[in-house]
Chains A and B, each alone.
Chain A
Amino acid sequence: MRDCARLSDRMPDVALGRAQWSPEEAEHLATCAGCQEEWSLVRLAGGLGEQLRLAAEPDSIATAVFQRIASERRQARYQRWSVAGLAAAAAIALAVWYGRGQTGQNALKGLPVATAPAAQPAELAIPLPELDQLQEPELDSLLQEISPPLTSGSTLEAPSLGDLDDQELEEVLATWEG
């Protein structure tokens, strides 16, 4: 068995002509059916495809390989440039968009600031249908109950001053100055 293992390990080298059987090995091979079977197998496998001839010459294969490698590199370079171009375009678009946004903000800064309309008493905007049912005296008493700051301090009074004539204005001033 030990001889079989040793022969088995040496069979490829002997089959390829790189080594030769020693007399002891040759004797074992002549009497061992298992080793003979394996020896036949190794020789058959060693020669398998030996007569195969490639249809193409090696130089043609090499040329085709170089062409494919060059083509692949060109394609890779093109893809890199495409990606770089897209990135650049995206960066430019972003810069333009951001710049326009900034310009818009600056333009707004130059414009007069839109302010909220002068504070108007919310009560005036709110329809109060129940007031319609009140009589004149009731409305007067209601007005008197409204605290003076809301009425006298109301900004609504200021524009109405323009409607007053000189005499009336003098009277108003006289009341303010006491």
Chain B
Amino acid sequence: MSASATPACLTDLALVAAYRSGDERAATELVRRHAAAIGRFLYSSGASPSEIDDLVQEAFFRAFRRLEGWRAEASFRSWLFTIAGNLLRDDFRKRKGRQVLSLEDRDLPDQADPHADLVANEAGERLRQGLATLPRLQREVFLLRVQEGIDYRQIAAALGTTPGAARVHYHHAVKRLKELME
């Protein structure tokens, strides 16, 4: 990253290139940009609210460790979502093997319970449970579409499928969720 460039002004592609050149500020900016969305995605996919911070950290750890895996065909965020999806799958398989650094108390914001209001939302909770029961591709296509507004072409690139197939997955997800919400 050049000395005059502000990380916040740069594209994800430029930030990734800067981080690969050794600039950690660029990676920090990427975390600032995408951490909340990854957290939402994980929460919506059925992750336990108490584990979301650790899962977000793990997702970024995996991403930065293998940045060469992102070929910019899909957006950086879409790619992060697929990593988070893999992480959720792996997390259920080998929960014991995961090592996550504990964030110290001073890092925690002064909040009573940031998730309490979410849990109280019954319809949202039913939807979250319904999403967790969907096949992975249906769930991820649906969430990338409705939460991020990503088009089918990019979704297809991120998930390794075709735009037509992604559209079918989306409509299957909608049909299933409508049935579950009735």
A61 touches B60 (CB 8 A): yes
A64 touches B146 (CB 8 A): no
The count of chain A contact residues (Cβ–Cβ below 8 Å) is 38
Interface residues of B in 152-182 (CB under 8 A from A): 167, 171, 174, 177-178, 181
B3 within 8 A of A: no
Contact with B along A31-54 (1 / 0, CB 8 A): 000000110011011111111111
Q: A-B contact count, CB below 8 Å? A: 128
A51 touches B117 (CB 8 A): yes
CB distance from B22 to the nearest CB of A (A): 11
Q: Check A44/B124 contact, CB under 8 A, given A52-B40, A61-B57, A67-B101.
A: yes
Contacts of A50 in B (CB 8 A): 40
A53 touches B114 (CB 8 A): yes
Interface residues of A in 7-52 (CB under 8 A from B): 8-9, 11-13, 15-16, 18, 37-38, 41-42, 44-52
Contacts of B127 in A (CB 8 A): 41, 44-45, 48
B27 contacts which of A11, A44, A62 (Cβ < 8 Å)?
A62
B115 within 8 A of A: yes
B147 contacts which of A9, A11, A46 (Cβ < 8 Å)?
A46
B9 within 8 A of A: no
Q: Check A65/B147 contact, CB under 8 A, given A41-B174, A45-B44, A60-B107.
A: no
Interface residues of A in 35-88 (CB under 8 A from B): 37-38, 41-42, 44-62, 64-69, 72
Which residue on chain A has the smallest CB distance to residue B124?
A48
Q: Check A65/B31 contact, CB under 8 A, given A38-B178, A48-B124, A56-B107.
A: yes
A68 contacts which of B27, B61, B143, B146 (Cβ < 8 Å)?
B61
The majority secondary structure among interface residues of chain B is helix
B31 touches A52 (CB 8 A): no
Contacts of B178 in A (CB 8 A): 37-38, 41
A15 touches B32 (CB 8 A): no
CB distance from A34 to the nearest CB of B (A): 8
Cα-based distance from A52 to B44 in the complex (angstroms): 10
A54 touches B39 (CB 8 A): yes
B114 touches A52 (CB 8 A): yes
Contacts of B35 in A (CB 8 A): 54, 58, 61
Q: Check A65/B27 contact, CB under 8 A, given A48-B127, A60-B107.
A: yes
CB distance from B62 to the nearest CB of A (A): 9
A48 touches B147 (CB 8 A): yes
Residues of A within 8 A of B (CB): 8-9, 11-13, 15-16, 18, 37-38, 41-42, 44-62, 64-69, 72
Residues of B within 8 A of A (CB): 24, 27-28, 31-32, 35-36, 39-41, 43-44, 49, 52-53, 56-57, 60-61, 64-65, 99, 101, 103, 107-109, 111, 114-115, 117-118, 123-124, 127-128, 131, 142-143, 145-147, 149, 167, 171, 174, 177-178, 181
**Which 6 pairs between the two chains have the least Cβ-Cβ distance?**
A49-B40, A49-B43, A60-B107, A62-B28, A62-B31, A58-B32
15 A-B residue pairs with Cβ-Cβ distance under 8 Å, sorted by A, are A8-B171, A8-B174, A38-B178, A48-B127, A49-B118, A51-B118, A52-B39, A53-B111, A55-B111, A55-B114, A59-B32, A62-B28, A65-B57, A65-B60, A67-B101
